[in-house]
């Protein structure tokens, strides 16, 4: 198990929010996929304590642990079981989840001394995370309105000032899957959440987002580095055509490292 700490290395080295922002923007400009994006951010800021919510088969965890030598503690949160109240395609049988967990543990065994396995839903295990002790958290669990709301509320208190609360599936359309399943509402909920915090939030390539946590400075701003989010309206997100993963298809069509139109910034003091 890695060593817990109450003060992240970013703070120890005196990184300002401007420096954290620069690390995010440089990563967004250079990365070819979400794995490269977050590895770049983690390495630039020398992150030591990290949490992933929604580990699944461990693909993200394996890459980050391989690429980021500064990491001392990597918390892996996942229930790895069928959830009766989760209407998403990834909600499979208990038997299959057992194999997913085994795969996640096998692919990260090389970093067994750094990882902390927290098996359960966020509501069940988040109390094991250190209060204001995390440099960065990555949310990739239940993307429904209920799920992303719970995950953001539960994880935010665990992140120190100067840290990052980020995640996946920041899709411009809520219809990430077909109409049989619950809509994906990471966007725009994460933006509204950041506004309630009075925080800066980035809309990043590959359907990623990053909220800058700073409790001493309240100024909401949405920095869209992709040009993919012309509206923050839920009505507009609901109005997108239902189809098989439309946002993923559009993102991949940008050719990996290519960027869309210049980003936009929406701010409120």
Q: Mind listing the pLDDT tens digit for each residue in 73-123?
A: 999 999 887 777 766 667 768 788 899 899 999 999 999 999 999 999 999
Residue 162: both structure tokens together:
């100067």
Q: What is the pTM of this model?
A: 0.84
CA-to-CA distance for 147 and 140, rounded, in angstroms?
10
Asked whether the predicted pLDDT for residue 50 surpasses 80, the reply is yes
- Asked if residue 132 lies in contact with residue 214, where contact means CB atoms within 8 angstroms, the answer is no
Q: In degrees to the nearest 10, what's the CA dihedral of 190, 193, 195, 197?
A: -130
pLDDT > 90 in the chain, percent:
62
Provide the pairing of β-strand 200-204 with 208-212: antiparallel
Sheet with strand 200-204: strands edge to edge: 115-119, 73-78, 49-53, 134-139, 159-167, 208-212, 200-204, 220-224, 264-268
Query: Where along the chain do its domains lie?
Result: 9-268
- Does domain 9-268 match CATH 1.25.10.10? no
């Amino acid at each position: 198990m890695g060593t817990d700490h109450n003060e992240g290395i970013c703070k120890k080295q005196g990184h300002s929010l401007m420096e954290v922002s620069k690390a995010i923007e440089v990563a967004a400009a250079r990365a070819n996929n979400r794995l490269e994006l977050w590895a770049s951010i983690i390495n630039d800021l020398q992150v030591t304590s990290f949490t992933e919510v929604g580990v699944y088969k461990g693909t993200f965890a394996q890459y980050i642990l391989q690429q980021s030598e500064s990491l001392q503690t990597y918390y892996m949160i996942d229930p790895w079981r069928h959830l009766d109240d989760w209407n998403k395609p990834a909600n499979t049988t208990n038997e299959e989840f057992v194999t997913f967990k085994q795969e996640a543990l096998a692919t990260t065994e090389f970093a067994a001394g750094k990882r902390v396995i927290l098996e359960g839903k966020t509501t069940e295990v988040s109390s094991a995370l250190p209060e204001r002790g995390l440099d960065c958290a990555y949310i990739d669990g239940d993307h429904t309105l209920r799920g992303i709301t719970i995950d953001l509320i539960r994880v935010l208190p665990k992140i120190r000032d100067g840290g990052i609360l980020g995640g996946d599936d920041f899709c411009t359309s809520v219809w990430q899957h077909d109409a049989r399943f619950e809509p994906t509402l990471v966007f725009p909920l994460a933006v509204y959440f950041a506004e309630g915090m009075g925080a800066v939030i980035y809309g990043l390539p590959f359907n990623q987002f990053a909220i800058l946590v700073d409790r001493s400075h309240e100024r909401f701003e949405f920095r869209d580095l992709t040009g993919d989010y012309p509206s923050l309206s839920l009505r507009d997100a609901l109005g997108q055509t239902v189809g098989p993963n439309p946002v993923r298809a559009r993102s991949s069509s940008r050719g990996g490292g290519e960027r869309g139109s210049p980003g936009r910034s929406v701010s409120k003091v």
